[in-house]
Chain A
Amino acid sequence: MKTYTSRVVVVGTGAGGAVAAALLAQAGHEVLVLEQGRRYEPEDHADVISSFTRMYVNGGATIALGNPPIPIPLGCGVGGSTLINSSTCFRPPREKVEHWDCVDWELFEKSLVAVEKRIHAVPVDESLLGGNYTVLKRGCDALGVTIKPLVHNLDGCQKSGRCAFGCPTGAKQSTDRTFIPDALAAGAQLLTEHKVTGVLQEDDKIAGVTGLCPSGTFEARGDIIVLAMGALATPAFLLRHRLANSSGQVGRGLRIHPASRVAAEFDEVVDGDRGLPQGAYIDQWRDRGIMLEGISLPPGPLLSGLPGAGYAFKSLAAQRRNIATFGVMVSDTGAGHVRRGYLGAPFTAFYQLTQTDAEALRYGMARLGELYFAAGAKRLFTNVAPMPVVQSQSELQRFEQMPVKPGSFEVMAFHPTGTCSMSVQANKGVVNSFLRTYDLKNLYIMDGSVIPDALGVNPQLTIMGLAHHATTLLLERL
């Protein structure tokens, strides 16, 4: 067994862990970073299947059980989910943060600014947005809806259209290209392919973690342990080892952003996959918890979600360049839970889409449909079982009025949060406002699991900001 000793042990290199590791190392502390995946270079992002197999947890097949079952794609590798996200940077809504009652907004905002600066988060230039944006903007202009470019953490984007499969040009400023190099430059040690599977517990603190590595097993001891394995793996790990759960809240309150998409076929070439996949957004219906965000995919993932077979399907495939897509994301009103993994899985998640959220998804899809028809679309593909294809405005009205059940939708979800939520009350949360667990004085959690609810926006920046904020406070006490 290999044994490592360090002042701080950080488990995970995603949005939370990488920020914590960099700040702690830059402050002169000895930091050991453990990552179960590998480290990839832009040239490793060769094709879609390679990306799925290398950079996605379980090859992309992480699914929350319910009706419908909901895939929640998660990243695996140095960079975590920042490796495969759409690089969208939203600041969290201030009212949500203040509602948590855990974080001082003025201090938190300083962390957000610092993170934005490091990851180069700026509104993208319209030239990067591609055909998906162009056709939808035409519909928006016709109906008086505002479509806005998103803020992205990019530097030198070459419009590969492959954000979700690992940026092949290295333009995306994911943590493997920002905070992890910062941590390494400041003296941190990074161990890849080191999967944490156990803990060394001593009284009311964690003495270290144990796990598996290519040469066998390892043990990493530290004074401070930071868990940043993600909102599904972290609670499952705590539950498996019966840690930090005196409140009974570990694994409960799983919040996600259920999402679907509308694809629209045009007479013109759209080339949606040449440009920034998630370049723009429409927040006109935000008060209903609905956010419309760009989404474009390479041919395989795009066409696998479209209906049909045989020659008709081949015709559709041949017309793939004429297909535009845009996503609908809702702030969920329900909640799921995470259990320790069964049958060899690292975690098992359960989530039942509510009727309210299903109807919100349908409402968002209908609004997108109107925009697409206004832009000249020939037909729409909805992924909703009773009406997967919509050919006209009148059919769109029928689509909006027909009865739907949650099980009628093909849904994906992103941005899991809430499973180790922070709270100022020990009986209502797992961590306090310093992101330290109430039960174990040297165990910190710095990932999406600490966010108490669904943000309604992509949480990358929020997770980074929270980790930055908490680490800054931690450094004051070290």
Chain B
Amino acid sequence: MTASDTRLTPAEERFRLWMWISVGMYLLGLPLFLLLGRQVAAFLNGLPRTLIQLPPYPPAGTGMEVVFWQILGVSLMGILGVLCLYIALDVRRYGPMIHALLCAKFISTVCYVVLFLGSFNLAFLVAALTDGAILALSWGLWFLASPADQLLDPWERRVLVAAGDTLFPRDGAFPAGYADVEERCMADAIRFLTAHSPMDRTAIRLMLRFLDLLPIMQFRFRRFHTMPAMERVAFFERLEHSRIAPLRLITMAIKLYIVIPFFNPPELEPGITTDTSV
């Protein structure tokens, strides 16, 4: 049975509901923007000045150029609406298409924020808050829904496996490495996670993603799971001994989900029991 064959998780149900709401918003917004788009700025400027004291936004012109951009904007809304419809119809199959919407909303939010900071026009603030909220909500709901019933999504699994290889490379003091028992360890890690509350599972997922992106934040220009093995070991050890408590906490938590599954069988596997002291 594949993940798509099983019932949707509550997180997927919530994400699907949001997609249906998005479809509704685009269906409603599309004709309104086409017909009344030019009045938006005028409406915002008409808000009581005592309520919001920001410079007014210049009303849209009436030339053909405005119509050109208006049609382009409406067509983008149409694309996003159809995309949301596809996702709502089959979350597991088309869910990753949400990245297109996230990308569009990220660009628009950043642009609106920059424009607002440059001009303090109310319309840009409203646009930034609207698109920013849609971006945050869509990303949050997708983040919770994306692993479906597997608890970790493919990216997070890759990071966990990379951390496993970091702790237990092949050979050395005993032959078995994480890669040799990856399937069993991953199944045990998932089993372990199953018992945790959704909030704790979310925390672990965020930690895995953070670990993967941390080297980029430190200007190493590659993610944790793509680093060469030796570099990864050194990086992990540095984090483990960091003076910044949350970084230590992250390595400690991730280590739990690797080491406990690795040694979990009541009778340890031959490759793991090799014991130099015996």
Contact = CB atoms under 8 A, between A and B. Distances in A.
B174 A46 contact: no
A310 B169 contact: yes
Contacts of B166: 309-310
A304 B255 contact: yes
Interface stretch (A49-57, A94-102, A450-458): A49-57
Contact of A314 (B174, B230, B236, B249): B174
Contact of B264 (A49, A54, A343): A49
Contacts of A318: 173-174, 274-277
B237 A308 contact: yes
A321 B278 CA distance: 9
Interface string A50-73: 101110101111000001110000
B193 interface: yes
Interface stretch (B113-121, B219-227, B240-248): B240-248
A298 B236 CA distance: 24
A240 B31 CA distance: 47
Interface in B215-272: 229-230, 233, 236-237, 240-243, 245, 248-249, 252, 255-256, 258-266, 268
A59 B263 contact: no
Interface in A90-109: none
A158 to B, nearest CB: 14
Interface stretch (B52-60, B71-79, B83-91, B195-203): B195-203
Contacts of A344: 197-199
B48 interface: no
A388 B256 CA distance: 17
Contacts of A320: 275
B168 interface: yes
A50 B268 CA distance: 15
Contacts of A300: 259-264
A22 B277 CA distance: 49
25 contacts: A46-B266, A47-B266, A48-B264, A49-B188, A49-B260, A53-B191, A53-B195, A58-B200, A60-B195, A61-B197, A61-B200, A68-B249, A300-B261, A300-B263, A303-B263, A304-B256, A309-B166, A310-B230, A314-B169, A314-B173, A318-B173, A318-B274, A318-B275, A385-B243, A386-B243
Interface of B: 166-169, 172-174, 188, 191-200, 229-230, 233, 236-237, 240-243, 245, 248-249, 252, 255-256, 258-266, 268, 274-278
Please provide the 10 A-B residue pairs with the shortest distance between their CB atoms, ordered closest to farther: A59-B195, A310-B233, A318-B173, A300-B263, A300-B260, A304-B259, A53-B195, A299-B263, A311-B172, A314-B172
